[in-house]
Amino acid sequence: MFKKLLAVLLTTLFLFSVLEAKEQAKKKVIKKEVYKAVWDKTYGGDDGDIAQGIVALENGESALIGTCRSFDAQRTDICVSRMDAKGEILWRLLLGGAKEDEGKAIIRAADGSLIILGSSKSFAKNYDRDLYVAKVSPDGKLVWKQTVGGDRDEFAGGLAGTDDGGVLVVGDSNSFGNGYKDVYIAKLDKNGKVLSSYIMGGEKEDSAKALTRTADGNMMLVGYREPERAGDTDFFVVKLDQNGKKIWTKTYGQEQADSLNSVTATVDGGIVATGSTRSYGSEQTDMSVIKFDTDGNIVWHKIYGFKYYEYGNAVSSTDDGGVMVAGGTTTLGKGDHSVYMIALDKSGELIWSHVYGDRGKDTMNAIARMDDGSMVAVGGSDSYSRATKFYMLKIDKQEKPITVKVN
């Protein structure tokens, strides 16, 4: 009798464990769709056009900067466009000359104008590449332009406005310093006059990829540096004052390549930055998202990756205190390279992820929060045409988050 009762009990426990395992498996394949795509747009000509930066304007409008071969560009021109809330173009301005000119970043000036940053061979004094900074009126007229650099190449990173109406720009320089490539920082006044410039770096490569203004009025620069051997890059974070003077520098990373590509300020005076890592147990290259406090200490560090290549290219704050990251993946999606986007809450917990694009190459290079709380990401796509075109994607919250099965 005892043996029969024991057998029944064991059978019951086994069936319960099986049912529990099945229930847990069901939970693993359910996720919340917190956000949805409102619209996506591609536009451009026949020769290859790609967006690199975006800034939010009023009434859901935005301004983009990129590089265009189309629209009667002489070679490659910096193109600045103003878009309405539906992603339709209001005006386009091409800036450049007979050589290669490329757009990189865009911000809103205190007077409502646009300040853009790129790189230019057309306006450099030698046969090199200089930083190109320009002010554009709200209706698309060039106000002033300035080139900054030395006798060799400079590459654009990022820019941020200062309290005096000027702008701080950062990038990379082969002209100055002791290394192969060093961080280059320049302060310009409201009329585009260069007030000061600085070099930061060691004997190997140091790179500035992005800049943001923090809640305390200072600036945070992110990028990478090679501390010891070529290819072994570390995350690089620098705090600057509004004149471009260094307050502190921090490096983080392990034995493989680690790099930060984009940064956004947080309300507590810190930043969230995104990029890529081959360290921390990554199989290949994974997307890395890190929150730093105002002193450069890591608050949290999240890594997302699959079988092949994932990375973060752009980050922006959301209206609930979290962040949305736009990047890329060669593991997921229909094509060889798809857009990979994620949203994290203010604690760094993943609340949403999605892949966008089709069978070609689709990339996102910048993202911004609009005045209605929606997010617009921009980049390039050749999935829907022979040549690469500007790719815009508007994302908003679901009215009621839904649950879906993950295949």
Whether the per-residue pLDDT at 25 is higher than 60: the answer is no
| 78 assigned to some structural domain | no
pLDDT the model gives residue 20: 42
| 333 assigned to some structural domain | yes
Whether the per-residue pLDDT at 206 is higher than 80: the answer is yes
| 369 assigned to some structural domain | yes
Chain segment 297-344, per-residue pLDDT in tens: 999 999 999 999 999 999 999 999 999 999 999 999 998 899 999 999
Whether the per-residue pLDDT at 2 is higher than 70: the answer is no
Range of the domain at 41: 32-47+327-407
Chain segment 249-277, per-residue pLDDT in tens: 999 998 889 999 999 999 999 999 999 99
| 379 assigned to some structural domain | yes
What length does the chain have? Answer: 407
| 363 assigned to some structural domain | yes
Based on the structure, what is the number of domains in the chain?
Answer: 1
pLDDT the model gives residue 31: 55
| 240 assigned to some structural domain | no
| 381 assigned to some structural domain | yes
The pTM assigned to this predicted structure is: 0.89
